[in-house]
């Protein structure tokens, strides 16, 4: 009798679907920030500030900008700031002044000290940028020689071990930035492939990619992502003020938020949003986990305005400390605090000026979006614009760490 009762239970167990394995751990999202070599001059933003301000504890990767591409080869752009300038004790990460005859000084010496304090932090040398991308066209003609030059530079005995990989900021492959390129859709994947061969599988390789959906269609970013550890989508500067040529020139005499996540009433171009850029990258076949959302740590602003919301007329770019139409978040948060939101980014009217920028609150919204889209993380351009206590970077790190 007991055997008969047990039989149905045995049959049920045999027919039941196999138990599902528990889901594997979700890869930690990347928190990436750019540190610029020129920031140590007028801005007085030193490597030490990454330590004292708490940024180094939030970052997974630090990108040092920029090296240059000269004659199709990797080269240092500012030898004085990079590795020659003696750092005083008060500006040194470890509190010890550089000897004038020390073999390594400057930012590279400080990066070595920063990594000693934060051994989990990875540092990449970024090459190119808006004004430094012309050399990539020549590099694309001989990717192997380009990669060999980058490997030799990174392995220079004076700073060997400081850098964990390479970032390419080509603006833009097979499209126009400050200059135009016609190297073909496969140029960027070929450069990254050559770098991977030269540096090996353990090196970290990344590339900044445009936010403009038209430019995204011009290069094979799916193939680029297959080699790179991630692609950094520059999801800011959709609309410019005329101060630096950013954005569409036709929009430069009307106020628009420069980094909207979503559309808003009256937006001049519906695809000029971070969500449209991300959707385009995913539609091209780039895995979501290899896409980083870009956050600008600055605002774009106009003067001669009379309207509170976006779309108002303006006489031109507002004054900034270093550049017309541009100001750091640290300054704007005090001088022209937010008066509204458009496209999930902050807007601010103060007198005859109008600014747009991201705040810890809007970054929280953007990080929720990044989690919902299963993106690989986010990056900041660039860290000197943050507050001394790293309010924006903290918002990125905490926002990405929240459960999806």
Mean pLDDT, rounded, of the chain? 92
Residue 32 half-sphere exposure toward CB, CA atoms < 13 A: 34
Number of Cβ atoms within 10 Å of the Cβ of 365 = 17
| Cα 399 versus chain centre, distance | 16
In 237-283, beta strands by DSSP E? none
Q: What is the pLDDT at residue 383?
A: 98
The C-alpha atoms of residue 244 and residue 262 are separated, in whole angstroms, by 24
8 Å CB contact between 164 and 203 = yes
Q: CA geometry: angle at 126 spanning 74 and 320, to 5°?
A: 120
- At residue 15, does pLDDT exceed 50? no
Whether pLDDT at 275 is above 90: yes
- For 113, residues 6+ apart whose C-beta sits below 8 A from its C-beta are 47, 92, 93, 94
Q: Is the pLDDT of residue 236 over 70?
A: yes
Name all domains of the chain by residue range, CATH numbers in brackets: 27-296+358-401 (3.20.20.80)
Active-site annotation holds for 171: yes
382 preceded by a cis bond (ω within 30 of 0): yes
270: confidence class by pLDDT, cuts 50, 70, 90: very high
Residue with the two structure tokens 């000290």 = 113
- Cα separation values, 267 from 38, 60, 144, 216, 263, Å: 34, 35, 44, 21, 6
**When comparing pLDDT for 28 and 8, which is higher?**
28
Find the distance separating the first CA and the last CA of the chain, reported in whole Å. 51
pLDDT at res. 216: 98
Instruction: Give the CA distances from residue 270 to residues 251, 266, 291, 311, 373, in Å, rounded to whole numbers and listed in that order.
Output: 13, 9, 21, 14, 20
| DSSP secondary structure string for all residues of 23-44 | PPPPPPPEEEEEEEGGGGSTT-
Mean pLDDT of 281-308: 97
pLDDT, residue 82, reads: 98
For residues 114 and 123, give the distance between their C-alpha atoms in angstroms, rounded to a whole number: 10
**Which residues neighbour 12 within 8 Å (Cβ) at sequence distance 6 or greater?**
none
pLDDT digits (tens, 9 = 90+) for 344-361: 999 999 999 999 999 999
Tokens 């833009």 identify what position? 172
Using alpha carbons, list the distances in angstroms from residue 164 to 72, 204, 249.
Answer: 22, 6, 39
Do residues 47 and 98 lie in contact, with contact meaning Cβ atoms separated by under 8 Å? no
Q: Which of 171, 256, 327, 382 is catalytic?
A: 171
Mean pLDDT of 320-325: 95
Hey, CA dihedral for 98, 99, 101, 102, is it positive or negative? negative
CA–CA dist 42, 21 (Å, integer): 56
In this predicted structure, the answer to whether residue 403 has a pLDDT above a threshold of 80 is no
Q: Place 7 in a pLDDT band, splitting at 50, 70 and 90.
A: very low
Indicate if the pLDDT at residue 18 is higher than 60: no
Q: How far is CA 373 from the centre of its chain?
A: 17
Which of helix, strand or coil describes residue 215?
helix
Overall average pLDDT of the 156-166 stretch: 98
How confident is the model over 237-252, as a mean pLDDT? 68
* Predicted pLDDT at 253: 83
Q: Can you spell out the DSSP letters for 97-118?
A: PPPTT-SS-HHHHHHHHHHHH-
Question: Which residues are CB-contacts of 287 (< 8 A; sequence separation ≥ 6)?
Answer: 225
Residues 6+ apart with CB under 8 A from 3: none
Backbone CA torsion sign across 381, 129, 185, 201: negative
Q: Residues 385-403, buried b or exposed e (16+ Cβ, 10 A)? A: bbbeebbbbbbbbebbeee
198 vs 222: CA distance, rounded Å: 21
pLDDT value of position 19: 47
86 contacts: CB under 8 Å, gap ≥ 6: 97, 98, 99, 100, 102, 105, 106
> Hey, is 337 helix, strand or coil?
coil
Phi then psi dihedrals of residue 66, to 5 deg: -130, 150
Q: How far is CA 186 from the centre of its chain?
A: 22
Residue 131's CB is within 10 A of a number of other CB atoms, namely: 12
């Amino acid at each position: 009798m007991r055997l008969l009762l047990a039989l149905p239970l045995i049959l049920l167990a045999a027919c039941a679907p196999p138990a599902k394995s528990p889901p594997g751990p979700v890869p930690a999202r990347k928190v990436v920030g750019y540190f610029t070599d020129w920031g140590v001059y007028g801005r007085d933003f030193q490597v030490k500030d990454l330590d004292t301000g708490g940024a180094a504890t939030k970052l997974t990767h630090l990108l040092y900008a920029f090296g240059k591409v000269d004659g199709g080869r990797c080269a240092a752009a500012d030898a004085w700031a990079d590795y020659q300038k003696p750092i005083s004790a008060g500006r040194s990460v470890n509190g010890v002044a550089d000897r004038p005859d020390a073999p390594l000084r400057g930012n590279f010496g400080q990066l070595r000290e920063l990594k000693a304090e934060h051994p989990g932090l990875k540092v990449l040398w970024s090459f190119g940028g808006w004004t430094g991308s012309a050399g990539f066209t020549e590099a694309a003609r001989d990717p192997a020689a380009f990669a060999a030059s980058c490997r030799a530079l990174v392995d220079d005995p004076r700073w060997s071990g400081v850098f964990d990989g390479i970032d390419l900021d080509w603006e833009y492959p097979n499209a126009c930035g400050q200059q135009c390129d016609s190297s073909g859709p496969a140029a960027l994947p070929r450069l990254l492939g050559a770098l991977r061969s030269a540096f090996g599988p353990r090196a970290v390789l990344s590339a900044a990619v445009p936010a403009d959906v038209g430019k995204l269609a011009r290069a094979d970013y799916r193939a680029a992502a297959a080699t790179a550890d991630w692609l950094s989508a520059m999801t800011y500067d959709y609309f410019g003020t005329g101060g630096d040529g950013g954005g569409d020139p036709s929009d430069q005499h009307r106020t628009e938020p420069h980094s909207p996540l979503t559309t808003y009433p009256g937006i001049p171009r519906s695809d000029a949003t971070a969500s449209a850029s991300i959707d385009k990258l995913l539609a091209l076949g780039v895995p979501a986990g290899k896409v980083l959302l870009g956050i600008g740590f600055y605002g774009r602003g106009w003067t001669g305005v009379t309207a509170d919301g976006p779309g108002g007329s303006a006489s031109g770019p507002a004054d900034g400390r270093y550049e017309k139409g541009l100001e750091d978040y640290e300054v704007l948060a005090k001088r022209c605090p937010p008066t509204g939101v458009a496209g999930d980014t902050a807007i601010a009217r103060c007198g005859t000026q109008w600014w747009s920028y991201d705040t810890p609150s809007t970054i929280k919204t953007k990080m929720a979006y990044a989690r919902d889209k299963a993106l690989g993380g986010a990056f900041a351009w660039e860290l000197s614009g943050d507050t001394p206590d790293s309010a924006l970077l903290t918002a990125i790190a905490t926002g990405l760490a929240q459960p999806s």
